[in-house]
């Protein structure tokens, strides 16, 4: 049992009122399998658990801004009345001066005018899961009959736009859309017209029998899983477009986190890139509290809020150890890495391969992250310096254009057999000269 001094200042919880229940059947969804943890359940948070949850969440906060985050499965399957009750309970238990930020992550397919009016009235931030243009989205995000869902998601987004609801887009990057970074990014920017984007990698581990299990086991991955190289290339390609055209207009969660990391903020704002974690818990439909949304497994069950106060479980030794392990289990390869300050070994759930010298516990995405962090170093440093000097961060786009012009001028003077100025080690004619001629053909 924890002492009162161990109770964290601020608790962030992702609530899953329908557990793993969803109206869709996206083939890479890790959470659909979690239904096996509760074999006889109807997967609906009842009124008693809802009231305990909201009252304890409010009680546990030391500051006056409370985040109430709903996720799934598909939370809209609970129906609007459930969320109306949640708002009423926030009012019932509100402390003087307290404000709430309600967020919901949804596939968007069940939204209608009533939902959108409710979101607008209560200032919800709605996260929509969308994997890119139609053919990329429909590859994996299918309904229970295996049918496409793109049109239904887009209809949900248009309704949110019509009602002026604040929304963002979450893209699960898999081996299919991972090969089309600019197509995905430009579609979200130009067609969906979202200004906030999150990218998360789809990683499915396979055990020694080649099966995906309820628990995180195995050091190989499914063929849907994004490769580490692809992930790095995906982030780099989108970053290069963003830093030249969209700074201050489009917000990509990973890039925002990197600016904070380069500016040496205590937290990047994304738990995966922080030295320790354990501040974001997950609550199941029946009140079971887990260490993290990505560790809804028996070994990471902290207890049930109907028996033990949530704040006590959040401050427990078990939870603190969970968070500290992120730093303490880092392999030497990470501890000596030049980009450790930005990466911190990313999320422990992805640390299942061996380092080049055979130590276990390296992040599966390491190669991609190393390439990405090293690639963005110069431009993110420029961006950070501009912000530190109180200059509008958008000026980084002009700096990039000037640098590009200088590079182009340098390239124009290089002999075909000379080493390429980009530093690749190849002859110019085999490297950028070839790319330029290809580019001219494509133009």
Just list the catalytic residues. 293
Residues near ligand SF4 (CB under 6 A), total: 22
CB of residue 14 to ligand SF4, shortest distance in Å: 10
- Pick 156 or 323: Cβ nearer ligand SF4: 323
CB of residue 323 to ligand SF4, shortest distance in Å: 7
- Which residue from 169, 292, 383, 396 is in contact with ligand SF4, where contact means CB under 6 A? 292
Q: Is 67 helix (H, G, I), strand (E, B) or coil?
A: strand
135 vs 188: CA distance, rounded Å: 14
- Pick 303 or 419: Cβ nearer ligand SF4: 303
- Pick 107 or 291: Cβ nearer ligand SF4: 291
Q: Is 60 helix (H, G, I), strand (E, B) or coil?
A: coil
Q: Which of residues 35-74 bind ligand SF4 (CB under 6 A)?
A: none
- Pick 246 or 288: Cβ nearer ligand SF4: 288
CB of residue 359 to ligand SF4, shortest distance in Å: 11
Tell me the pairing of strands 360-362 and 353-354: antiparallel
3-state per-residue secondary structure call for 219-284: CEECCCCCCHHHHHHHHHHHHHHHHHHCCCCCEEHHHHHHHHHHCCCCCCCCHHHCCCCCCEEEEC
User: DSSP characters for 152-209?
Assistant: HHHHHHHHHHHTT-EEEEEEEE-TTGGG-HHHHHHIIIIII--SEEEEEE---EE-TT
- Radius of gyration (Cα) for the chain, nearest Å? 23
Q: Which of 247, 272, 248, 277 is nearest to 261 (CA)?
A: 272
- Pick 178 or 345: Cβ nearer ligand SF4: 345
CB of residue 8 to ligand SF4, shortest distance in Å: 13
- Pick 233 or 432: Cβ nearer ligand SF4: 233
Q: Which of residues 297-336 bind ligand SF4 (CB under 6 A)?
A: 326, 333-334
CB of residue 343 to ligand SF4, shortest distance in Å: 3
Query: For the window 333-372, what string marks contact with ligand SF4 as x by the rule CB under 6 A?
Result: xx--x-xx--x-xxxxx-------------x--x--xx--
- Which residue from 140, 152, 175, 294 is in contact with ligand SF4, where contact means CB under 6 A? 294
Is the dihedral angle over the CA atoms 172, 176, 180, 186 positive or is it negative?
Answer: negative
Is the CB of residue 292 less than 8 Å from the CB of residue 281?
A: yes
What's the token pair of residue 371? 């390439």
Is the dihedral angle over the CA atoms 114, 117, 120, 122 positive or is it negative?
Answer: negative
Q: Is 7 helix (H, G, I), strand (E, B) or coil?
A: coil
- Pick 264 or 388: Cβ nearer ligand SF4: 264
CB of residue 370 to ligand SF4, shortest distance in Å: 4
DSSP-derived letter for residue 65 is: E
Can you say how many angstroms the Cα of residue 82 is from the centroid of all Cα atoms in its chain?
A: 26
CB of residue 340 to ligand SF4, shortest distance in Å: 5
- Pick 111 or 380: Cβ nearer ligand SF4: 380
CB of residue 296 to ligand SF4, shortest distance in Å: 10
- Angle, vertex CA 284, rays to CA 98 and CA 305, nearest 5: 60
CB of residue 62 to ligand SF4, shortest distance in Å: 20
Q: How many CB atoms lie within 10 A of CB 15?
A: 23
Q: Is 288 helix (H, G, I), strand (E, B) or coil?
A: strand
96 vs 16: CA distance, rounded Å: 28
Q: Which of residues 251-280 bind ligand SF4 (CB under 6 A)?
A: 271-272, 277, 280
441 vs 438: CA distance, rounded Å: 5
47 vs 362: CA distance, rounded Å: 43
- Pick 15 or 347: Cβ nearer ligand SF4: 347
26 vs 143: CA distance, rounded Å: 7
282 binds ligand SF4 (CB under 6 A): no
Q: Is 333 helix (H, G, I), strand (E, B) or coil?
A: helix
By CB under 6 A, name the binding residues for ligand SF4. 271-272, 277, 280, 292, 294, 326, 333-334, 337, 339-340, 343, 345-349, 363, 366, 369-370
């Amino acid at each position: 049992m924890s002492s009162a001094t161990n109770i964290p200042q601020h608790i962030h919880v992702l609530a899953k009122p329908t557990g793993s229940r969803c109206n869709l059947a996206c083939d890479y969804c890790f959470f659909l399998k979690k239904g096996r943890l509760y074999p006889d359940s109807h997967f609906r948070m009842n009124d008693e658990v809802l009231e305990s949850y909201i009252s304890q969440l409010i009680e546990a906060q030391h500051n006056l801004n409370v985040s109430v985050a709903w996720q799934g499965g598909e939370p809209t399957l609970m129906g609007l009345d459930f969320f109306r009750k949640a708002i009423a309970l926030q009012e019932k238990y509100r402390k003087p001066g307290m404000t709430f930020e309600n967020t919901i992550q949804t596939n968007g397919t069940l939204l209608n005018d009533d939902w959108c009016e409710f979101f607008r009235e209560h200032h919800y931030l709605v996260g929509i899961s969308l994997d890119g243009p139609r053919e990329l989205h429909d590859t994996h995000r299918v309904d229970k009959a295996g049918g496409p869902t793109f049109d239904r998601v887009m209809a949900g987004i248009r309704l949110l736009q019509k009602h002026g609801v604040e929304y963002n887009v979450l893209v699960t990057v898999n081996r299919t859309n991972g090969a089309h970074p600019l197509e995905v990014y430009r579609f979200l920017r130009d067609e969906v017209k979202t200004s906030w984007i999150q990218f998360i990698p789809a990683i499915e581990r396979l055990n020694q029998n080649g099966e995906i299990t309820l628990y995180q086991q195995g050091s190989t991955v499914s063929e849907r899983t994004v490769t580490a190289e692809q992930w790095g290339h995906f982030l780099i390609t989108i970053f290069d477009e963003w830093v030249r055209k969209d700074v201050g207009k489009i917000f990509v969660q990973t890039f925002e986190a990197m600016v904070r990391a380069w500016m040496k903020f205590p937290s990047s704002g994304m738990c995966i890139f922080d030295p320790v974690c354990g501040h974001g818990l997950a609550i199941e439909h029946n009140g079971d509290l887990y260490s993290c949304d990505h560790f809804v497994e028996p070994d990471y069950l902290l207890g049930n809020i109907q028996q033990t106060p949530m704040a006590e479980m959040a401050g427990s030794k078990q939870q603190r150890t969970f968070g500290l392990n992120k730093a303490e289990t880092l392999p030497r390869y990470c501890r000596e890495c030049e980009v450790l300050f930005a990466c911190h070994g990313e999320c422990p759930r992805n640390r299942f391969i061996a380092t080049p010298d055979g130590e276990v516990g390296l992040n599966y995405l390491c190669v991609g992250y190393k390439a990405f962090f090293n690639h963005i170093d110069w431009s993110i440093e420029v961006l950070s310096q501009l912000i530190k000097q109180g200059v509008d961060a958008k000026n980084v786009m002009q700096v990039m254009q000037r640098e590009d012009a200088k590079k182009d001028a340098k390239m124009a003077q290089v002999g075909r057999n000379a080493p390429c100025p980009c530093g690749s080690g190849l002859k110019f004619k085999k490297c950028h000269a070839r790319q330029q001629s290809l580019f001219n053909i494509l133009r």
